[in-house]
Amino acid sequence: MHIHFHGHACFEIEGKAGRILIDPFLTDNPSTTTKPDDFTQLDAILVTHGHNDHLGDAIYLSRRTGAPIIAVAELAAYCRSQGAETHAMHIGGKHQFPFGWVKLTLALHGSGIASPDGGNMIYGGPPCGFLLQIEGKWLYHAGDTGLFGDMELIGLRHPIEVAMLPIGDNYVMGIDEAVHASQLLRPKVVIPMHYNTFPLIAQDVGEFLHLLQRRAPESQGKVLNPGETLVI
C-alpha cells in the first residue's frame, strides 16, 4: 500500500483494491504542485468537513472521475446538489467498499461551506475523521480536530498502523496535543499534517518528532513533504 502526501491534509491511498483521495485541497494550495487534472481515475473521495481547504476540489474530481464523495450526510447532500456522486454516512457508522472499510469518527471542529456568493455559510453537518481498513491495515485520518479523550477508545478498538494527525494549532491540535493524541491512539506510525501551509499554522515539525519520541516511543514519527510517499 502506498500513502502519497499532497500537502496540508490531502492524502492519496493506493492499494491493490483501489485508489482513494482524502481532503483534496489542491487548487490554491501553496504547499503542493499536484493538480486536480492529474487524477483521471479514483475509486472514492473522502471529505472530513466542508471547509474549503478540505472540501477543495472534491466536487470537480467526482464529476471528472465518477468517484463518489464519502462524507457525513449533510455534506454529501450539498455535494450531490452540485452534481457529484456521493455516498452519505455518519459518525459511528461503517461501510464496506470495494477498496476496504470506512468508518466515521468524531472530530472537534466546524464544517461550514463557504457560500458561492460570499453570503452566509452553508451548513455542512458535523466534521468527522476517518478510520480505514485497507489490505488488513487500519489507517486513521483525524481530520481537523482538537484533542478528545475518546481517541483512547479508537486506539483500543483498532490496531492503527498509520495515524495522520494535525499539528498546526490555532484551528486544530498543536504539537503538544498531537503528541498526547498519539499516546492515546498508539499507532505504529504518525504522519503530521495541517501545518506550515499558511503562516498562521506554522510549526516546527522537528519539535513534534522530538516530543513524540520522548513521550510516545512506541510510535514512529514520519514527516512527508508534499509529493513524498510512505509504503506500508
Q: Summarize the confidence of residues 204-229 as an average pLDDT.
A: 98
For residue 140, the Cα-to-chain-centroid distance in whole angstroms is: 8
Q: Does residue 117 carry a pLDDT above 90? A: no
Cβ within 8 Å of residue 16, ≥6 positions away: 1, 135
- The matching CATH number, chosen from 3.60.15.10, 3.20.20.80, 3.40.50.10470, 3.40.50.720, for 2-231 is 3.60.15.10
For residue 230, the Cα-to-chain-centroid distance in whole angstroms is: 15
Q: Summarize the confidence of residues 71-90 as an average pLDDT.
A: 98
**Torsion region of 118: left, alpha or beta (phi above 0 gives left; psi -120 to 50 gives alpha):** left
The ranges assigned to domains in the chain are 2-231
Q: What pLDDT score does 146 carry?
A: 98
Report helix, strand or coil for 107: coil
Is pTM beyond 0.75? Reply is yes
Q: Tell me the average pLDDT of the chain.
A: 97
**Could you give the maximum distance between any two Cα atoms of the chain, in Å?**
49
C-alpha cell at 160: 492503527
